[in-house]
Amino acid sequence: LNRRLDGLGTTIFAEMSALATATGSINLGQGFPDTDGPRGIAEAAARAVLEGRGNQYPPGPGIPELRTAIAEHQQRFRGLAYDPDTEVLVTAGATEAIAAALLALLEPGDEVIALEPFYDSYAACIAMAGAVRVPLTLRAPDFRPDLDRLRALVTPRTRLLLLNSPHNPTGLVLSPDELAAIAALAVEHDLLVVTDEVYEHLVFAGAHHPIAALPGMRERTVSISSAGKTFSFTGWKVGWVTAPAPLVAALRTAKQYLTYVSAGPFQYAVAEALRLPDAYFEDFRADLRRKRDLLAHGLTSAGFRVFNPEGTYFITTDITPLGEKDGVEFCRALPERCGVVAIPNAVFYDDPEAGRSLVRFTFCKKDEVLQEAVSRLARI
């Protein structure tokens, strides 16, 4: 392993999901639903396979039907107009979009300011690009970004702001005022913004506001989303980018040599999913909000300090009230102690001390699974 990837070993998600399988535990670690997305959308994928649509290499940027559906979705939900031919790119999940963006846009030595705790692939991709990550640390209890601190982090080497809202793992949703301040800074210093919005449809308090819609932002913003979260098909790995044509062209160049193209038949199905009526998106959010409340209540009763998330399908907790200090040790022992798997937030920090006593649970699981997990946790 080269020095750039030193210390990046095995992702925490692989480690903890393997532990869940080995111990037969309830897996509230890795964020994937235990119920598949709409049956009609699964049938659309099956039909595409059987009818021979997408079984051979599809077009590199994505099939036209899906690029059009992505552009329509951005218009319908965000009021943003993108040209499906030049301003949309289909990727192998949001993960590839993040990789393509960072590999295509960064020079070695460039500084990237990212909200910390950061989703694990950010650190890896910044490292693979030879760039330098500069964390803007979000702190309990409310995890709001310190905008003065952000301003102070900008240097002549800063090239890009890497945002994530709704934010994994804290559940923070950037407010209109925060977005406006970040946008003003990006314009002032001529920075690029890559914004990971995979949880855009999972906002429980307030609303999701796309930073690309703010003055001066469209031309410098790469917006990323994914079908995995919104339609509960995380295994399909269909993601996308919307950005101005020169940025999409740059990402397309990188994507050509990462995966060349994304899996064909799923693209037809996701094109249908993006056109589902508003009721689908509303019901999805309402269902997850109910699950959030169920898990938050259960964790509170079990003695955790719960930071109620405004968005995503994760709850961050503090284990200090349980007499515990170290989230990594706690999560390694939890399957043996009570048959539940969670993720230690410390792995999302450069400075593990900052998230030492924080532990993340996902609530994208059946109600009875959440109830059983909570009753097990209440016994520790």
Positions touching ligand PMP (CB under 6 A) are 31, 93-95, 119, 164, 168, 196, 198, 226, 228-229, 234, 237, 239
Q: Which does 13 bind (CB under 5 to 8 A by kind): ligand PMP, ligand GLN, none?
A: ligand GLN
Q: Which does 94 bind (CB under 5 to 8 A by kind): ligand GLN, ligand PMP, none?
A: ligand PMP
Based on CB atoms, which residue is closest to ligand PMP, 118 or 304? Answer: 118
d(CA 268, CA 82): 19
Q: Which does 30 bind (CB under 5 to 8 A by kind): ligand PMP, ligand GLN, none?
A: ligand GLN
- The CB-side HSE value for 193 (13 A sphere, CA atoms) comes to 31
- How near is the Cβ of 101 to ligand GLN at its closest, in Å? 17
**Positions that interact with ligand GLN (CB under 6 A):** 11, 13, 30-31, 168
Question: Kind of pairing, strands 158-164 and 192-196?
Answer: parallel
- How near is the Cβ of 314 to ligand GLN at its closest, in Å? 7
Based on CB atoms, which residue is closest to ligand GLN, 30 or 232? Answer: 30
Burial status of residue 133 (CB atoms within 10 A of its CB: 0-12, 13-18, 19 or more): middle
* CB-CB neighbours of 80 under 10 Å: 18
Based on CB atoms, which residue is closest to ligand GLN, 13 or 280? Answer: 13
Q: Which does 239 bind (CB under 5 to 8 A by kind): ligand PMP, ligand GLN, none?
A: ligand PMP
3-state secondary structure of 161: strand
DSSP string of 1-40?
Answer: --GGGTT--S-HHHHHHHHHHHHT-EE-SS---SS-S-HH
Based on CB atoms, which residue is closest to ligand PMP, 302 or 331? Answer: 331
d(CA 376, CA 380): 7
Based on CB atoms, which residue is closest to ligand GLN, 242 or 316? Answer: 316
- How near is the Cβ of 223 to ligand PMP at its closest, in Å? 12
Contact 369, 327 (CB under 8 A): no
